[in-house]
A and B are shown apart, each in its own frame.
Chain A
Amino acid sequence: MFTQVLWWMENILLSYLLIRGVQQGLWRRYPFFYSYIGYVLVESLLRYVAYMAYPHFYRILYWNTQLFSVALSFFLVLEIYNAILSQYPGAAKIARGGLLIVILFALSRLWIIKFFLIGVDVYDTPAMLERDLRLAQIISLAIILSTLVYYRVPIGKNTKGLVLGYGLYLGTAVGILAIHAFISADLGVWWGNSIQIASLIALLVWSFSLSSYCPNPPPPEESRLSEHYEVVATLTSEAISQATRYLGRAIRP
């Protein structure tokens, strides 16, 4: 009964998000996000049909659709990156550098596994694979958020909701997936319920923050800094170094 309630709530919120997105024209501004939401709704209905009519087929369907959903959600991270940093080329460049490091790290890890751990099945269960992919998303999102905070990039309600909802979902999902991968249990009731509760939290945040269009504040007009960037960067760097040195001398008796 509880599972049914969660399932219906999830579908109602997904439908609400899609309807509001179309009504408010938000789907044009966040196409990847609404494609993802649309896919999750279709996936949820498909799973329900499979669960009721073909229970043996459910597990296969679940993991295949789920891993596709995870792959699709990388575009959601890209959407968040674009929504936050597209108007701030400097901050975007730094975030790209950080993301590149994450990608290189992930690829080198795969390379090490492929060439040095031949014959070792690293991912015993699909839950482990999903857990690691979600972890990569957490790191990517953390880099974007850190850049946003460091450079004090102002954002609107829509973007803030996107980040918060997905961040909460990823945090909860990684914990649940780790537990699931460890106990290697079949898809029991606790599993379905816990994942659905994580989804519901994200959907509630998104439903609230994406009920209408609230754009990011426009970036201030171009400063003259571009002409003197290197000078200002050097001055700032020197100023901090000198302040440190001055304070350093102070501790000498």
Chain B
Amino acid sequence: MITVIVFVLIGTITAAFFLYWALNSSPPRKSETSKETDFRDPLSTLSLLRLEPLPRSLMERVFSVEDWEFVERTAPKAVAERFKSERTALALDWITTIKSRVVTLMNIYRRVARQEANLTFSGEGMLFLRYAGFLFYCKVLGALLSVLGPFRVRQMAGNAMAAAEMLSDRYATILSVVKIERLAEFAEDSRAS
């Protein structure tokens, strides 16, 4: 009886999975932005991909612990709570930003790797595991931030900025080896996803 239930479940999940895929996979689009944008300029390309470098000074101020200590000391409790919740929201935004950068990096990588006959099964497997681990990590960190608040994880800002800068650097390196005409396609895909 268990076997029947398992197979019926497999069958139902399979049918639902294929139906979901068919309903949610978008039809292929023709890039229209390639004629309008000059993709030889790395900064404009990064901006189009929403990957422009983040200003460190701004984020240092936003995450300043001194600000929190000052507000906690002088403001009413309700104001301090409001301040804390807004800082938490900012911290969560940071995670989303870093996550979206890694997702875009992977999107670019996958789009070029799919035509690369020299890739290895083990290498791709490791990269996939790393990527899946990173996405999981973002979820865990987001949950921790929501529960503990940003001041328990106060290295967040510095690390997030370092991660953002490092990723921007990686983008620049990767974009330099990807054929420049194809950036329009990547940009459009990135915006759609």
Q: Is the CB of B178 within 8 A of A151?
A: no
Q: In the complex, what distance in Å separates the CA atom of A213 from the CA atom of B180? A: 32
Q: Is the CB of A175 within 8 A of B141?
A: no
- Residues on B with C-beta less than 8 A from A150 are 110, 128
With A223-B179, A244-B134 as known contacts, state yes or no: A249 contacts B14, CB within 8 Å. Answer: no
Give me the interface of B with A, judged by CB distance under 8 Å: 1, 3-4, 6-8, 10-19, 21-22, 25, 28, 95, 98, 101-102, 105-107, 109-119, 121, 123-124, 126-128, 130-131, 133-134, 137-138, 141, 144, 152-156, 159-160, 162-163, 166-167, 170, 173-174, 177-179, 181-182, 185, 189
Taking CB atoms and an 8 Å cut-off, the chain A residues in 209-232 that contact chain B are 217, 219-232
- Chain A interface helix/strand/loop/mixed: helix
With A174-B10, A229-B118, A240-B130 as known contacts, state yes or no: A182 contacts B3, CB within 8 Å. Answer: yes
Q: Is the CB of B137 within 8 A of A248?
A: yes
Q: Is the CB of B115 within 8 A of A242?
A: no
Q: In the complex, what distance in Å separates the CA atom of A228 from the CA atom of B18? A: 36
- Chain B interface helix/strand/loop/mixed: helix
Of B11, B19, B127, B156, the contact of A173 (CB 8 Å cutoff): B11
Q: In the complex, what distance in Å separates the CA atom of A138 from the CA atom of B6? A: 14
A56 beta carbon closer than 8 Å to chain B: no
Q: Is the CB of A237 within 8 A of B130?
A: yes
- Residues on A with C-beta less than 8 A from B107 are 152
Q: Is the CB of A243 within 8 A of B134?
A: yes
- Residues on B with C-beta less than 8 A from A87 are 115
- Residues on B with C-beta less than 8 A from A217 are 28
Q: Is the CB of B178 within 8 A of A225?
A: yes
Give me the interface of A with B, judged by CB distance under 8 Å: 87-91, 93-94, 97, 131, 135, 138, 142, 145, 149-156, 160, 163-164, 167-168, 170-179, 181-182, 217, 219-233, 235-244, 246-253
Q: In the complex, what distance in Å separates the CA atom of A223 from the CA atom of B177? A: 8
Q: In the complex, what distance in Å separates the CA atom of A239 from the CA atom of B117? A: 23
- Residues on B with C-beta less than 8 A from A219 are 115
Name the residue on A nearest B98 (C-beta). Answer: A243
Q: In the complex, what distance in Å separates the CA atom of A38 from the CA atom of B133? A: 47
Q: Is the CB of B121 within 8 A of A250?
A: no
User: Could you tell me the distance in whole angstroms from the C-beta of B181 to the nearest C-beta in chain A?
Assistant: 8
- Residues on B with C-beta less than 8 A from A244 are 130, 133-134, 137
9 contacts between A and B (CB under 8 A): A87-B115, A131-B7, A152-B189, A163-B18, A171-B16, A171-B18, A172-B15, A237-B127, A250-B156
With A236-B109, A242-B166 as known contacts, state yes or no: A94 contacts B21, CB within 8 Å. Answer: no
Name the residue on A nearest B142 (C-beta). Answer: A247
